């Protein structure tokens, strides 16, 4: 279901801080085209995710990575 995948994409992005389309595709087991469309859909929905072109680019969230608690 697409809604589940969009939430999973957002959580993965928040966890990592910056991701590439191939990383998202591998994590969610979808094609790179689907991963790119999902990231674009999140941005179009007003969720603060941004793409950056070029070497070292990718997608990032304005919130950055979410800190994990030490266990």
Neighbour count for residue 6 (Cβ, 10 Å): 16
User: Tens digit of pLDDT for each residue in 16-67?
Assistant: 888 999 999 999 999 999 999 999 999 999 998 888 888 878 888 875 555 5
Q: Is the pTM of the predicted complex or chain greater than 0.85? A: no
* Nearest alpha-carbon partner for 61 in 22, 13, 12, 3: 13
CA 58 to CA 2: how far, in whole Å? Answer: 21
| CB-based contact 39:9 (threshold 8 Å) | yes
Mean pLDDT of 2-29: 92
Query: What is 38-67 written as a DSSP string?
Result: HHHHHHHTT--EEEE-STT-EEEETT-PPP
Is pLDDT larger for residue 12 or for residue 64? 12
């Amino acid at each position: 279901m697409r809604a589940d995948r969009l939430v999973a994409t957002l959580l993965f992005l928040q966890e990592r801080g910056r991701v590439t389309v191939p990383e998202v595709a591998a994590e969610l087991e979808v094609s790179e085209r689907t991963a790119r469309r999902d990231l674009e859909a999140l941005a179009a929905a007003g969720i603060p995710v941004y793409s950056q072109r070029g070497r070292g680019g990718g997608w990032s969230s304005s919130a950055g990575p979410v800190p994990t608690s030490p266990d």
